[in-house]
Structure 1
Amino acid sequence: MPRTAATESFKFNHTMIRIKDPKLSLPFYMDTLGMDLVSEQNMGDFTLYFLAYSHDGIASLPAEQKAKARFNREGILELTHNHGTESDPNFQGYASGNAEPGRGFGHIAITVSNIEEACARFESLGVPFKKRLTDGKMRHIAFILDPDGYWVEVVPQALSL
């Protein structure tokens, strides 16, 4: 069905996942995956971190403009940190969506220009893999795990099956 006048301006903006410790998750998403921190909002008992690939120049904007600009783009990952989880010895972690109970959410995905090089880099950085390129039948994709156990699918930009 074609988009209508009522929905033509709609964009998919972001996906939110909860994290235990931003001191682990932010370096993973920023340094390991190369995302930029678009905005950070401390809400008192939790903090929101908005990350994205800045192929549109948002990362170079002043902080206030950058925070507003995130509402005009697509493909943002929101990490929500509920304060205290990082130091709570009884905290059990969040459901990744890939195990019972709580199966549902599956993964996020990134594309890379050279999947073999990207996977070799992840390997050298000690990133845990859920599925390596050499595992299973689908030898053109890999899955790595973030610090909270969320799956990140790694897909070549020019996928030829």
Structure 2
Amino acid sequence: MKNVSSAVIILFAATSSENPGKLKKDHDTIRVKDLKVSVPFYRDILGLEQIDNAGLGDHIKWFKLGNEVQVHLVESDIVVEKNKGVHSAFNTQNLTKFMEFLKAKNIAFENGDGEKNTFTDRPDGVRQIYFQDPDGYWIEVNDNKLP
């Protein structure tokens, strides 16, 4: 029986590493209380480009990042529990400049331990900060070198 479970694990590892669906990130959906508050934040603070929402109505706004991944904001009364461990992560080539921008906009940020106005310096050399959007969702911005 021990050999059978080992074979299953090896088979799963081989199959999952091949990514048969060739999956790529498409979008995240975020439920927000007020689009009049959230749209300017995602557009002006995060710098996302607002795009057509495929005719889904005025309660849904779509944005895209430079890599074509989308963020969909849906106005809703549903309350979602927020937790720093569940966050969206974005990347910048200049984290220091972005931190200065947040300070100029009076947007509080912190490191992973909750220390204000500073960053986490991960063992791999990537620096990261965390802050919240108008609905309290946690956002990470880091300076990881993406391909």
What is the TM-score when the length of structure 1 is the normalising length?
A: 0.64
Alpha-carbon separation, structure 1, partners of 2:65 and 2:110:
23
Amino acid at match of 2:136: G
CA distance in 2, matches of 1:78, 1:134: 29
Q: 79, 87, 97: which is aligned to 1:107?
A: 87
1:95 matched to 2:81: yes
Which residue does the alignment assign to 1:70? none
1:34 counterpart = 2:18: no
Q: CA deviation at 1:110?
A: 0.9
| In structure 2, C-alpha distance between the alignment counterparts of 1:54 and 1:135, rounded to whole Å | 24
What amino acid is aligned across from residue 109 of structure 1 in structure 2?
Answer: A
Deviation at 1:53, TM superposition (A): 1.7
8 Å contact 1:130–1:151 — kept in the other structure?
no
Q: What value does the CA root-mean-square deviation take over the aligned residues? A: 2.7
Counterpart in 2 of 1:146? 133
Contact 2:89 2:140 survives alignment (8 Å): yes
| In structure 2, distance between residues paired with 1:30 and 1:107 | 18
Query: Contact 2:38–2:134 at 8 Å: present in 1 too?
Result: yes
C-alpha contact (below 8 Å) 1:146/1:152 kept by paired residues: yes
Between the aligned partners of 1:137 and 1:112, the Cα distance in structure 2 is 15
Q: Distance in 1 between matches of 2:138 and 2:19?
A: 32
Q: Distance in 1 between matches of 2:120 and 2:19?
A: 38
Give the aligned length. 122
Could you report, residue by residue, the CA deviation over 1:99-158 in whole angstroms, capped at 9, with x for unpaired residues? 8xxxxx710011111101101101110113243563566482101110001111010143
Alignment check: 8 A CA contact 1:133 1:141 kept: no
**Superposition deviation, residue 50 in structure 1:** 1.3
Equivalence map 1:79-90=2 (5 Å): 79-82=73-76, 85=77
TM normalised by structure 2 equals 0.69
AA aligned opposite 1:143: Y
SS where residue 59 of structure 2 aligns? strand
| 2:35 counterpart residue number | 22
Aligned counterpart for 1:49 among listed residues 61, 65, 71: 61
Identity %: 25
